Amino acid sequence: MNEQENTRQEITEQTNIVDRTVPQQEQKAEVEEKAKVRDVVLPPKKYKLKLALLFLDIWGAIIYGYYYVIRNVILADIRAGKFHWFSLRMLSVYTVVSLTLGAVFVALIFKRSKSLRTRIERDNELRQDPNIGVWLTTFDWSWLILFVPAMVVLVLCGVVGYIISNSTVHRILGGIAFGFFWLNAAVVVFKLTPARVLLIVMSIFAFCLLLLLMGPKVFLAFFRNFGHLGIKLDPLGYFLIAYIGFFFLRIIWVVGLFQYFALSPNRLDLQSGLAETDRGMERKDYRLNIDTEDVILRLFKVGRIIISFPAKDREPVNYLVTGIDKKAKYAIEAASILAVGRD
């Protein structure tokens, strides 16, 4: 009996040792795995192709401008026998060339001296930091980003207008574009919460039901009056209006290269200006809030990241960003992680 009890006790002790060893091994493997992840240095993102495509129309305009000057100014004067190096036409050419060379020279100086810091460079610095596993760099698109659906509708109306050359169709397209623009503006001005969306739908349904109760003729006559909202617009006009909106969006994107925030564990940098302002703040000095209350905005993955400060002398900053589903996740993770440097 004593031998059996001793055997049972030895088996129990061995089992307890194994039970204690397995969690330690799993914990050690998890730590090693995290260490491996931290040791991986992500390559910097390439933005040159993106910048070239974003400003493709400007490059095309510059190339066409020089082509026009060479063909219709220099070569035309040479053929007519009126070419002179110091004519007024050639002075205008020298001015354009000087401005171009000056812009290239300034860009090279900023690039070589690295005195111009952008959001792209800051993002690449965080990507290549082995001590940082999650971060977020973004900027404020402002309310203009909310008019992108209206710009898309304008482009579609322009395409349909070129395909179908009919006066009645053009008036219908103008009414659709006009109505959708004002609907888009209503979404921007009035924040559509679920309760407001339900109220609007129920109000429209109740109004249509009231018209039907007054008679089918009244119902049809009411909607027939919307024919007066038809606006005849040349198809090129739709593209021009959409291009103006896209032009201002690009200006906002360029401004966002120098006015942004970079959020990483232990630190928040609010950048405003051509060079880094180094307005770094610790986690205890700010509060982070994600606002995705609007139904329509959430549908297009647009939301607000609001940064407030316990100190009463600073106003909160509000960033309207795209891809809010991913950026909100990154922001919350970065704000809740305490980063520790490697030995």
Tens digit of each residue's pLDDT (9 = 90 or more) over 310-321: 876 778 888 888
10 assigned to some structural domain: no
- How many C-beta atoms lie closer than 10 Å to residue 258's C-beta? 18
The verdict on 109 and 152 lying in the same domain is no
Model confidence, pTM: 0.71
The verdict on 242 and 190 lying in the same domain is yes
DSSP secondary structure letter of residue 291: E
pLDDT in the model for residue 151? 92
pLDDT in the model for residue 36? 41
Domain end: 115, 136, 159, which one?
A: 115
**Beta-bridge partners for 271:** 260
| Apex 127 CA angle, 125 and 130, nearest 5 | 95
pLDDT in the model for residue 243? 92
The verdict on 162 and 246 lying in the same domain is yes
The verdict on 160 and 245 lying in the same domain is yes
Structural domain that includes position 245? 146-252
325 assigned to some structural domain: no
285 assigned to some structural domain: no
- Start-to-end CA distance of the chain, whole Å, equals 56
Please provide residue 251's backbone torsions phi and psi, each rounded to the nearest 5 degrees. -60, -45
298 assigned to some structural domain: no
Query: 48-87, pLDDT tens digit by residue?
Result: 777 777 788 888 888 888 888 888 888 888 888 787 888 8
Rama region for 144: left / alpha / beta (φ>0; ψ in -120 to 50; rest): alpha
The verdict on 151 and 247 lying in the same domain is yes
Domain end: 197, 231, 252, which one?
A: 252
Query: 116-137, pLDDT tens digit by residue?
Result: 778 888 888 888 888 777 888 8
343 assigned to some structural domain: no
338 assigned to some structural domain: no
Distance of CA 244 to the CA centre of its chain: 18
Q: Which residues of the chain carry a pLDDT beneath 70?
A: 1-44, 46, 113-115, 191-195, 197, 223, 225-230, 274-280, 293-296, 312, 337-343
Contact 321, 342 (CB under 8 A): no
Number of domains in the chain: 2
The verdict on 163 and 76 lying in the same domain is no
225 assigned to some structural domain: yes
248 assigned to some structural domain: yes
The verdict on 158 and 93 lying in the same domain is no
Domain end: 235, 252, 269, which one?
A: 252
